[in-house]
Amino acid sequence: MSDRYQEKNSFKDIFQNYIFITIGAIIFAYGLETFLVPNQVIDGGVVGISLILDELIAPIPFSIFLVVLNIPFL
């Protein structure tokens, strides 16, 4: 096995990955709240199912559906 697979990530690499994941999540959330939800556009996957359930079951907020449906994937 090569040394490439045995290297441990440095703190800088791990921190950089977390920063990029956070930036990506912020961009996704902005697009979701700015374009999809106000225009009632259905997306695919868990987000789409959450949007559909939000329209069908009014008193429960969209964010609750999104979190509950993502729990099995964690």
**Radius of gyration for the alpha carbons in the chain, expressed in angstroms and rounded:** 18
* Burial group, residue 65, by CB count within 10 angstroms (0-12, 13-18, 19+): buried
- Are 33 and 43 spatial neighbours (Cβ–Cβ below 8 Å)? no
Task: Say yes or no: 52 and 72 in one domain.
Answer: yes
Domain that holds residue 64: 42-74
Task: Say yes or no: 36 and 46 in one domain.
Answer: no
Residue 40's identity, in one-letter code, is Q
68 is a domain residue: yes
Task: Tell me the C-alpha distance between 57 and 70, whole Å.
Answer: 18
Task: Say yes or no: 70 and 57 in one domain.
Answer: yes
73 is a domain residue: yes
Task: Say yes or no: 73 and 50 in one domain.
Answer: yes
3 is a domain residue: no
The structure tokens 């440095």 sit at 10
32 is a domain residue: yes
Predicted TM-score of the model (pTM): 0.67
pLDDT 10s digits, 2-58: 556 556 778 899 999 999 999 999 999 899 889 888 888 888 889 889 888 888 987
